[in-house]
Structure 1
């Protein structure tokens, strides 16, 4: 009979950061790397005023975002032809494989909780530099 590893709840107090491929610095939260999760990751992101990500997508993984404070704009779609403004209290969903480019047009930081169905936060990130010129600077 094989021995099973005991399941354990974990408390995370985000105090470590990492630089994502997308161009933002994240507070490390729930992921395969931090707690051994197998189906989800959740991190805290602060986009500084004027901050802008690199155009990217997440292969095969959905993203859910809850904005705690501030405002973020996001260009999205195959040619980044769509635009949404997400403000404090709003939820924003990005389907798997959809290119997007978030940014902060405001004068205050935008703070958001980001959850993805990829437990390895950066593995499914695919940069799309070919789309960078599709949106205003």
Structure 2
């Protein structure tokens, strides 16, 4: 018998939340801890008005994000010297190893992204 179970499809009910390393609250989704995934991770993130994540990078994987609602500004680059305005309906690609920091400039609206 194999040491590893055969991969199969899984449905993850997004019920649990946790505070991530970037000091924002995430709704748990697809991750090594929930599915055993090795190359993909997907969570729901709500950035409250006037809040931001801590600057960070993902050394070993690229990141893809879709903004469901709201707006954000993403600072990125070696010294966070570049930035992009991000709006509802936008897709974001972040290469592995690129430092980035999302910020919600709104006074009233939460930015929600997957």
Which TM-score tier does this pair reach, normalised by the shorter chain?
over 0.9
Q: How far 1:6 moved relative to its partner?
A: 2.9
* Structure 1 residue ranges, 4+ long, deviating more than 3 angstroms after superposition: none
Task: Please name the residue that 1:58 is paired with.
Answer: 58
- Unpaired segments ≥5 residues, structure 2: none
Trace 1:16-31 onto structure 2 (pairs within 5 A): 16-31=16-31
Relative to the length of structure 1, the TM-score reads 0.78
How many angstroms apart in 2 are the aligned matches of 1:57 and 1:21?
11
Q: Does 1:108 align with 2:109?
A: yes
- Scaled by the length of structure 2, the TM-score of the pair is 0.93
Q: How far apart, CA to CA, are the structure 2 residues paired with 1:77 and 1:110?
A: 22
Tell me the SS of whatever aligns to 1:57.
Answer: coil
Aligned length: 112
**Aligned partners of 2:45, 2:31: CA distance in 1, in Å?**
14
Aligned counterparts, 1:1-137, within 5 A: 2-3=1-2, 5-106=5-106, 107-113=108-114
